[in-house]
């Protein structure tokens, strides 16, 4: 829990920080594209074999990551060297085959057929084929995971051909494939049981599982029989260091080659860049304030209070001061690369006067609330939000919570009577993906944030619309609904950047839609 900084003190801090930002910045960034590499990467003539790539992360696994029905989003970063999908999307939204080499819909969209890659083995030596793939997909279907509601059944056509029979057309069938088709060894499950695989992923990727230390690290070693060719690295290791300062010092001290999730510490990114580290900015989502509009006694059931919060926060100033060239302020719930983005949109600009007037209309006095923020996202920007709200009469305390607690608030239906700071706004090329996940009939996220009136109807139309351009029109209508009813407030883009020393080459991070996807079999290190 943090105490308020008086607004005068905060403004003095802003002046001091701004005065320290007048030096020439050697990095480059952009506010109109979703990917950028902010420093030049080191070069070498030819890739070299050897070395263990060690990456520090200030967010860590909070769910099992070896049994896919139990794996949660924040474990994704740590399993992709080991576990593969039928395909993944590049940064333009194109599907790139992994365990599948091709796929096609039936003419009437009644089924989707995958032609699987031959000659692939799991890390335990067992074969990957249609039978193994069906076992994995049936697990997700039984669980009822997001996206499987349109699956009727999984059918083996032959040894390397698998068909998903569909209940009807749904435009997101392909969009859900990367998550739903991550495959682990059924043989390992039969041999070890569920307890033996929960924290022991046995996949098909370029690196096989070596060791997991709860709350400390997860380590992989090279899989020489990888179907895509022998990886250059000997291994990959992720280290968890919760405190950002300690993590940065560990990087500079040579304990690791890289640091991930320097999202809210962009002064650190700037500093590390000037010290010669490569700063890589993958495709980014955006930071959002979600209001609890489910609890009956929540003050945010009144739209005037929600609008007052948006008017009260100077997003341009915070982005400039705390983003150090990596953030741009947002006035709508869509990034420029999404089809839901409205060009030249005029949203609610900073106006403390309008905020005060709206609060006065409500008749509320002594307004108090709590802003919940995940521990890897706390920083001066949260103090700034707190101070701006204080200036209009909203007493907002900041509660820094664990990733597990944040996931509970994000996905739980219980309400939290406050505001949830989320760095995971949509960054999908097609906004339909995010809209269905959070506001569809089987929404699995933001359950305490009441959707705008009319959103369910828009999502229903989106799901049966095969034309991407027409979906864009509907997605922009959804963006407008968010703004008109102010059910959530977009703040700024939130890039989860990486810092690497100059020994690391060809990560490929900016080539993919997922902000933590590497070209794992192509990454190499100077020896």
Domains of the chain with bracketed CATH: 7-20+285-494 (3.10.105.10), 34-83+185-284+495-527 (3.40.190.10), 84-183 (3.90.76.10)
Identify the band that residue 98 occupies on the pLDDT scale cut at 50, 70 and 90.
Answer: very high
pLDDT at residue 7 tops 60:
no
Local structure of residue 414 (DSSP, 8 states): S
Nearest-CA neighbor of 453 among 477, 420, 417, 418?
477
pLDDT at 335: 87
Q: Which of 338-342, 418-422, 491-495 has the lowest mean pLDDT?
A: 491-495
Query: Residue-wise over 110-130: b if at least 16 C-beta within 10 A, else e?
Result: ebbbbbbbeebbbbeebebbb
Alpha-carbon distance of 308 to 360, in angstroms, equals: 10
- Compute the average pLDDT of residues 280-291: 85
pLDDT higher than threshold 50 for residue 400: yes
Please report the pLDDT score of residue 322 as a whole number: 86
d(CA 368, CA 146): 36
Predicted local confidence at residue 458, as pLDDT: 96
**Of 399-408, 437-446, 479-488, minimum mean pLDDT range:** 437-446
The pLDDT value given to residue 183: 98
The verdict on pTM exceeding 0.85 is no
* pLDDT confidence tier of residue 18, bands split at 50, 70 and 90: very low
Nearby residues of 420 by Cβ (< 8 Å), 6 or more positions away: 289, 290, 292, 371, 372, 406, 409, 410, 448, 449
Question: CA of 521: how far to CAs of 226, 252, 508, in Å?
Answer: 9, 26, 10
Q: How far apart are CA 262 and CA 376, in angstroms?
A: 8
What integer pLDDT is reported at residue 499 of this predicted model?
93
Predicted local confidence at residue 326, as pLDDT: 82
Kindly tell me if the per-residue pLDDT of 76 is higher than 90.
no
Tell me what pLDDT residue 376 has: 72
Q: How confident is the model at residue 15 (pLDDT cuts 50, 70, 90)?
A: very low
Highest mean pLDDT among 74-88, 120-134, 440-454: 120-134
Alpha helices in 412-505 (DSSP H): 432-439, 455-463, 468-485
- Rounded Cα distance between 239 and 336, Å, is 33
Residue 130 predicted with pLDDT over 80: yes
Span of 66-80, 93-107, 230-244 with lowest mean pLDDT: 66-80
Share of the chain above pLDDT 90, in %: 62
Summarised one tens digit per residue, pLDDT across range 326-375 is 889 999 999 888 889 999 999 999 999 999 999 999 999 999 999 999 88
Highest average pLDDT, of 124-133, 486-495, 508-517, comes from 124-133
Query: pLDDT at position 403, please?
Result: 81
Q: What is the dihedral of CA 180, 182, 186, 191, to 10 degrees?
A: -120
CA distance 231 to 205: 10
pLDDT of residue 262: 64
Residue with tokens 């300062």: 245
Per-residue pLDDT averaged across 417-445, rounded? 80
pLDDT for the residue numbered 131: 98
Structure-model confidence comparison of residues 135 and 1, the more confident one: 135
Res. 42: pLDDT tops 80: no
Report the distance separating Cα 328 and Cα 36, nearest Å.
14
254 dihedral zone (left: phi>0; alpha: psi -120 to 50; beta): left
Whole-number Å distance between alpha carbons of 346 and 504: 42
Instruction: With cut-offs at 50, 70 and 90, classify the pLDDT of residue 35.
Output: very low
Of 134-148, 186-200, 290-304, 437-451, least confident by mean pLDDT is 437-451
Output the average pLDDT for the chain: 87
At residue 442, the pLDDT reads: 66
Instruction: Count how many Cα atoms sit within 13 Å of the Cα of residue 8 in the half-sphere of its side chain.
Output: 0
Judge residue 297's burial from the number of C-beta atoms within 10 Å of its C-beta, 0-12 exposed, 13-18 middle, 19 or more buried: exposed
In whole angstroms, what is the distance from residue 51 CA to residue 503 CA?
Answer: 10
Q: Are 424 and 131 in contact (CB under 8 A)?
A: no
Three-state DSSP at 473 gives: helix
Question: Which residues does residue 218 pair with via DSSP β-bridges, in sequence order?
Answer: 212, 238
Predicted pLDDT of residue 63: 83
pLDDT, average across residues 266-279: 83
pLDDT band for 24, please (50, 70, 90 cuts): very low
- The DSSP call for residue 99 is S
Order of strands, sheet of 111-116, starting from the edge strand that comes earlier in the sequence = 100-105, 111-116, 161-166, 151-158
Q: Is 136 helix (H, G, I), strand (E, B) or coil?
A: helix
Of residues 426 and 241, the one with the higher pLDDT is 241
Query: CA 266, 426, 312 angle in degrees (round to 5)?
Result: 65
Token couple for 198 = 């929960």
Report how far residue 146's alpha carbon sits from residue 127's, in angstroms, rounded to the nearest whole number: 28
Q: What is the dihedral of CA 454, 457, 458, 464, to 10 degrees?
A: 180
pLDDT in tens, 457-469: 999 999 999 888 8
DSSP tag of 403: H
Q: What is the pLDDT of residue 41?
A: 43
Distance CA 415, CA 149 (A): 26
Rounded distance between C-alpha atoms, residue 304 and residue 316, angstroms: 22
Maximum Cα–Cα distance for the chain, whole Å?
71
pLDDT of residue 309: 98
List Cα–Cα distances, 275 to 232, 321, 499, in angstroms: 27, 21, 11
C-alpha 83/C-alpha 432 separation (Å) is 26
Pairing of strands 367-374, 394-401: parallel
The DSSP secondary-structure symbol of 213 reads E
pLDDT at residue 449, rounded to an integer = 80
**251 or 338, which is more confident?**
251
Other beta carbons within 10 Å of 343: 6
Q: Which of 47-61, 165-179, 406-420 has the lowest mean pLDDT?
A: 406-420
Least confident residue range of 16-30, 168-182, 342-356: 16-30
CA–CA–CA angle 479, 480, 481 (5° rounding)? 90
Residue 234 pLDDT greater than 70, yes or no? yes
């Amino acid at each position: 829990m943090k105490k308020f900084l008086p607004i005068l003190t905060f403004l003095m801090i802003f002046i001091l920080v701004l005065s320290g930002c007048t030096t020439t910045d050697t990095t480059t960034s952009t506010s109109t594209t979703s990917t950028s590499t902010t420093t030049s990467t080191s070069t070498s003539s030819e890739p070299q074999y050897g070395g263990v790539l060690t990456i520090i992360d200030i967010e860590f696994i909070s769910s099992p990551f070896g049994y896919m029905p139990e794996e949660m989003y924040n474990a994704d970063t740590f399993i992709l060297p080991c576990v593969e999908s039928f395909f993944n999307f590049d940064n333009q939204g194109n599907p790139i085959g992994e365990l599948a080499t091709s796929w096609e819909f039936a003419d009437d969209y009644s089924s989707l057929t995958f032609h699987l890659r031959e000659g692939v083995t799991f890390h335990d030596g067992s074969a990957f084929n249609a039978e193994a793939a069906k076992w994995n997909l049936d697990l997700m279907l039984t669980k009822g995971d997001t996206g499987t509601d349109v699956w009727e059944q999984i059918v083996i056509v032959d040894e390397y051909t698998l068909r998903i029979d569909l209940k009807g057309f749904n435009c997101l069938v392909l969009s859900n494939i990367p998550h739903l088709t991550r495959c682990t060894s059924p043989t390992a499950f039969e041999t070890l049981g569920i307890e033996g695989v929960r924290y022991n992923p046995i996949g098909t990727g370029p690196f096989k599982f070596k060791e997991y230390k709860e709350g400390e690290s997860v380590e992989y070693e090279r899989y020489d029989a990888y179907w895509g060719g022998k990886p250059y690295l000997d291994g990959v290791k992720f280290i968890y260091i919760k405190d950002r300062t300690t993590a940065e010092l560990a990087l500079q001290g040579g304990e690791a080659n890289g640091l991930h999730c320097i999202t809210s510490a962009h002064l650190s990114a700037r500093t590390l860049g000037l010290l010669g580290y490569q700063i890589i900015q993958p495709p980014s989502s955006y930071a959002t304030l979600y209001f609890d509009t489910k609890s009956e006694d929540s003050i945010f059931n009144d739209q005037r209070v929600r609008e007052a919060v948006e008017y009260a926060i100077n997003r341009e100033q915070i982005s400039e001061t705390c983003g150090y060239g990596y953030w741009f302020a947002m006035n709508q719930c869509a990034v420029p690369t999404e089809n839901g983005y409205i060009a030249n949109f005029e949203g609610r600009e900073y106006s403390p006067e309008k905020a005060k007037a709206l609060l006065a209309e409500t008749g509320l006095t002594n307004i108090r609330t709590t802003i919940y923020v995940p521990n890897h996202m706390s920083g001066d920007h949260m103090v700034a939000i707190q101070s701006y709200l204080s200036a209009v009469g909203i007493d907002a305390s900041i509660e820094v919570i664990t990733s597990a607690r944040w996931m509970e608030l994000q996905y739980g239906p219980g309400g939290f009577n406050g505001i949830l700071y989320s760095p995971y706004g949509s960054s999908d090329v097609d906004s339909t993906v995010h809209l269905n996940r959070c506001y569809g009939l089987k929404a699995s996220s933001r359950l305490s944030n009441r959707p705008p009136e009319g959103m369910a109807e828009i999502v229903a139309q989106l799901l049966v619309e095969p034309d991407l351009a027409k979906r864009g029109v509907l997605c922009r209508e959804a963006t407008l609904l968010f703004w008109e009813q102010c059910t959530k407030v977009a703040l700024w883009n939130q890039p989860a950047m990486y810092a690497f020393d100059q020994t690391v080459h060809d990560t490929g991070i900016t080539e993919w839609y997922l902000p933590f996807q590497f070209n794992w079999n192509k990454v190499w290190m100077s020896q």
